[in-house]
Structure formats: structure tokens, C-alpha cells
Amino acid sequence: MKILYIVYLFLLAVTVAAVVFSATAGKSYTEPERYLPYDSGWTDESGTPADLEKLTGTTAIVKRLPVIEQDCELFFRVKNLNVAVYKDNILYKDYGEAYSSMNAGYKCPGTYFVMIPLYREDSGSELRITIENPYQNDSSCNIKSMYLGQGYAIIRAKVFEMLPGFCTSVLIILIGGILGLLSVTLKKYNRSNSSLLSLGLFAFVIGIWSATETKLLHLLIGYTSIIHLVTSLSLILIAVPIFLFFRARKEATDKISAILVSVLTVIGFLISVIMHFTGIRDLHENITIAHIVIITGCLFTLYYAFQAFRKSHFRDFAFWGLLIIAVFSIVDIVLYYKQITTDNSTFVRFGVLGYVTLLAAQLLEGYVRTYSENVKADMLLQMAYSDVLTGFYNRNSFISDIKEIDRSLGGHKGRAVLVFDLNCLKYINDTMGHTMGDTALKEAAGYIKQSFSSIGKCYRIGGDEYTVISDKALSEPELDGLYQGFQAHILNRNNAPHDDRPYPLYIAFGYDVIGGSAESAMDTFNSADAKMYENKQKLKEILKSENAAYVR
């Protein structure tokens, strides 16, 4: 998970750098001497001047080319029109027909860019562009950004014109992704708080919509109708997450508003999609449905935002930020209807970026504070139930688990309780020091963990005493096999020289199974402990017979 955050932060840094670079360096990449505006002087076929920004019905515009001294291109952007280009009445390309297989249910390819190669022999030729507006009198259908000149220079200039907005949108998407990841990571410590996830979804969805609105993807990769589809569908989904965000912040308990907004969004989404793909009305024609969904969600959002604002005694900047976004949205809508810009999210994009960043910082501060408090609580809890020296569970944990088993003893029949005791610890402490004694305790725990942790939990329940409770029923052959493997590890260890551990390991062992002669899990432990003590005494006798100095 940490590496994922690092990658995301790297991408954020790259995106910010791209925004700054494209905003500051873009002008140096524009080369107006290599191309000229070419959107004036067009007429309809009767000779009446044509308005390229208001093209309705079926019509044609014509213009005679000037003297072309070197090969160049005619470049322009088409929005929601089917166009065909003719040179001296010879069809060059019918874009509506060419893109018809990729219209994704739309009546035209959406927004796309046209580049017509022109050569010296085309000097003085008549260009005719036939236009079909499938949306009746929709005045938003137009031709813009028409230039004549070097195609690569025009495209480069358009890329740098769109790049700041696109990079800002990507930054919003990345922030949304990070907030989503953090909400999942911190869910353990904020189970009832969905604010972070809602804000992340809002940022992600509006970032997707904003990125497609820049038209950079249309220019660079094509598939304009698919991108148009993403734009339309993401627009419908924008209102829900920000509504849920403010509703969560108010900690509202009423469900009517949440149901209303969610159901309205789902119904609007399904109606739009069904009508689009059945050919009744495409998503562009049903933009009103998206607006109704957004306005309804925004009204409820403003209500909850104001409630939270009032609850904070009018100091919560989240409300003011929402008002700023609302104002920016109105500005973008006005620019859209006035057709002043081709980017319908110019202002709202930067408002959302600043707003989401500040809200995220505010939320994360609370999350981090709660996280730190819970980490401390977890550490205290872990200290209460774990042994610091060996990392095993401690006696408190052992007693708790034994009691839990005894509450439903029948369901644990056959589970094994194993008891271990480290011989010679007193000798090691007295002759080599307690630090070496601690080393011996940790080493013994390591061998027990190596051999038995796969079957259950390991505990250190006393100074030199350990126990293991298996998670499932085990047969005697299985237990004997595990013990033989354990003994082999100890034997190999004792036969090898260890300058840093100048002592042998002798570990006594005993076990019993729950549900046998013992009446409870604790009785099973006591039985296993008695068997371990018998083994310990035998081990002592062996060591005495060998005249070992380390006999406890």
C-alpha cells in the first residue's frame, strides 16, 4: 500500500509540474507566423456571410482559397455537426459518414477536429463544407478554431492551449483516487464516517468530466463519440457524491433526501442511457435530464452544507467553498451559452481543485488525529496481551482464550494444548548474566514458533514456560511428527558451535487434547503441564548422569 501512495504522490508532482510548465511555457510553443485564422469570409451558397458559431439545419459554406505558396493544412474544430469537405466540388472526405461506425449512439461524432491537406495546385480552388445539424435549432453546434497554415504548428499550439486545464483535471482525478484509498485504509478508525470516500468520488468523477471537456483527448486520440459518452454520463453522476459528503458531515439520520437524490440519479441515468442506445433521443438531446439531476442534488447539497455551516457557527469554510464553485459553475454556463470558450469547465475546474484540496486537508487532519489515538490504543491493547521479549501472546491472552474455549467446549474437541519449559535458565542467568538469559528465552521461543506456529497460537505464560493451543483437532501421530521435527531442530542447534550463545538448549515438553479425560480446557492445560513436568524431571536425570553443570 505504501508504494502505491508513493506512486500517486509522484504522479501528483508530475501533474503539478505539467500544469505549471504548460501554463508558463505554452506561449513559447505557439508560432502564429506559421498559421493564420481562417474563420472569416465564409458565405452560404447564395453569397450571404455565414456565421460559423450558429449552424442549424442543413446548409453549406464556401470560400475560395488564396494563393498557396507552400503545402499547408486547413484545421478546424467541429461540434455536434456532420460535415463533408469538397475541393472544387470534389469530395475530399465526409466526416459524418467516416465516423458513423464510431458514433456510440450519437447522431454525429460529437466534438472532433478536421485537418485538410492543401497543396500549391489548390490555389484559388473553392472549398465547400456541407453541414448537417441533427439537433434542429441547437445553436451550440458550430465550427471554431479555424486556421490555415502548418498543421504541426497548429496542433502544437492547441495542445498547449488545452494542457493546463487537462493537467489540472488529472490532478483532481489523482486527488480523488488518493482520498478513496485513504478512506479504505483508515476505515478501521472511522467506520461511521464516509466523508472522505464521498469527497474522493466527487473529485474523481468531476475530474473525469473536466478532463474530457478540455477536448485534448479528442485532438490527440480521436474516438470522439466514446469520449463524448464519458462526458455525458459522468455529468449525471457528479451531484451524488458531493451530496453524500455534506449529508455525512451533518451526520443526518433522515433517509428521504438520500433516497430521493439516489433514485432520481439512477432513474435519470437509466432513462438517458436507454433512450440513447435505442435511438429515441441521444444523450446530447437529453442534457436537460442531467441538468435536473444535478440541480436537485445541488439543492439538497446546499441544504446540508448550510446546516453544517450553521452548526459551525458560520465558520465552516466548506460552505463558502461550495458557493464559490456554484458561482464558477454559473460563469462556465454563461460562457457555454455565449460560446466564448470551447472548454465548458474552465473556472469550475480550478474552484474544485482548491476546494477539494482544502476539504481533504481538513478531513485528513481529523482522520490522522483519530488514527493516532487509535494506534496508541492498539499499542496499549497489544502490550496488555503480548509478551514484549518474545513477541508471543502473554498469560493474559492465554487465560482469555482458555475461558473462551470453555464457553463452548464441545466445539473444540480434539484441539491440542502443548506446554514447554526451558531448562537451565537459572544457570544461564547466574553464570552468564540476565542478558544472555533473555537471549536464551528468545531463542527457545524462535524454535517453538518455527515448529508449532502453523497449528495455532503461541504464548509465553511464565518466566521460562511456553504453551501452544492448536486451532483445530490434531491426532497423536501429527503431534508426534511435529515434536520430532522440533527435537531435530534443537539437536542440530546444540551440535553446532555458537560463540554468541555459549549454552545448550534443553526444552521439556508435554501435551494433551481437549475433550479427553479433562473436563475443561484449563484441566487439559494442567494435564499437559503435568506431562511436561515429568519430561522435565527425566531430562534432569539425563543431564545429571552426564555431570552437566547446568542442571536447574
Burial 462-485 (b: 16+ CB within 10 A, else e): eebbbbbbbeeebeeeebeebeee
Please give the Cα distance from 481 to 348 (Å, whole number). Answer: 70
pLDDT of residue 1: 45
- pLDDT over 80 (residue 341): no
**What percent of the chain shows pLDDT beyond 90?**
22
More confident residue, 111 or 261: 111
Q: Over 85-154, what HEC string results?
A: EEECCEEEEEHHHHCHHHCCCCCCCCEEEEEEEECHHHCCCEEEEEEECCCCCCCCCEEEEEEEECHHHH
- pLDDT over 90 (residue 179): no
Q: Residue 104 — very low, low, confident or very high, per pLDDT cuts 50/70/90?
A: confident
Compute the average pLDDT of residues 517-536: 86
Please give the Cα distance from 150 to 162 (Å, whole number). Answer: 19
Q: Residue 98 — very low, low, confident or very high, per pLDDT cuts 50/70/90?
A: confident
Please give the Cα distance from 251 to 494 (Å, whole number). Answer: 64
pLDDT of residue 284: 86
| Cβ-based neighbours of 180, under 8 Å, separated by 6 or more | 197, 200, 201, 204
pLDDT digits (tens, 9 = 90+) for 317-338: 566 666 677 677 677 666 665 6
More confident residue, 427 or 150: 150
Q: Residue 268 — very low, low, confident or very high, per pLDDT cuts 50/70/90?
A: confident
Compute the average pLDDT of residues 14-20: 57
- pLDDT over 80 (residue 52): yes
Q: Quick check: helix, strand or coil at residue 184?
A: helix
Per the prediction, the chain carries an average pLDDT of 80
- pLDDT over 90 (residue 250): no
- pLDDT over 50 (residue 8): no
> Nine-digit cell at 194?
464516509
pLDDT digits (tens, 9 = 90+) for 434-473: 888 888 899 999 999 999 989 999 999 888 899 999 988 8
pLDDT of residue 469: 92
| Cβ-based neighbours of 51, under 8 Å, separated by 6 or more | none
pLDDT digits (tens, 9 = 90+) for 271-297: 988 998 888 888 888 888 887 887 787
pLDDT digits (tens, 9 = 90+) for 355-370: 777 666 666 666 666 6
pLDDT of residue 60: 94
Please give the Cα distance from 28 to 313 (Å, whole number). Answer: 49
Compute the average pLDDT of residues 83-88: 94
Q: Residue 387 — very low, low, confident or very high, per pLDDT cuts 50/70/90?
A: confident
pLDDT of residue 370: 65
pLDDT digits (tens, 9 = 90+) for 201-246: 888 988 898 899 889 999 988 888 889 888 888 888 887 787 777 6
Single-letter amino acid code for the residue at 466:
Y
pLDDT of residue 448: 92
Please give the Cα distance from 111 to 158 (Å, whole number). Answer: 14
Please give the Cα distance from 224 to 210 (Å, whole number). Answer: 15
Cell 439538497 locates to: 300
pLDDT of residue 91: 94
Please give the Cα distance from 419 to 426 (Å, whole number). Answer: 19
Cell 492465554 locates to: 398
CA distances from 231 to 1, 81, 344 (A): 31, 17, 11
Instruction: Report helix, strand and coil shares of the chain as percent, to nearest 5.
Output: 60, 15, 25
Cell 466548506 locates to: 318
pLDDT of residue 474: 86
* Secondary element (H or E) of residue 84: strand 82-87
pLDDT of residue 266: 86
**What percent of the chain shows pLDDT beyond 70?**
76
Please give the Cα distance from 231 to 208 (Å, whole number). Answer: 8
Compute the average pLDDT of residues 260-273: 86
Q: Over 217-275, what HEC string results?
A: HHHHHCCHHHHHHHHHHHHHHCHHHHHHHHHHHHCCCCCHHHHHHHHHHHHHHHHHHHH
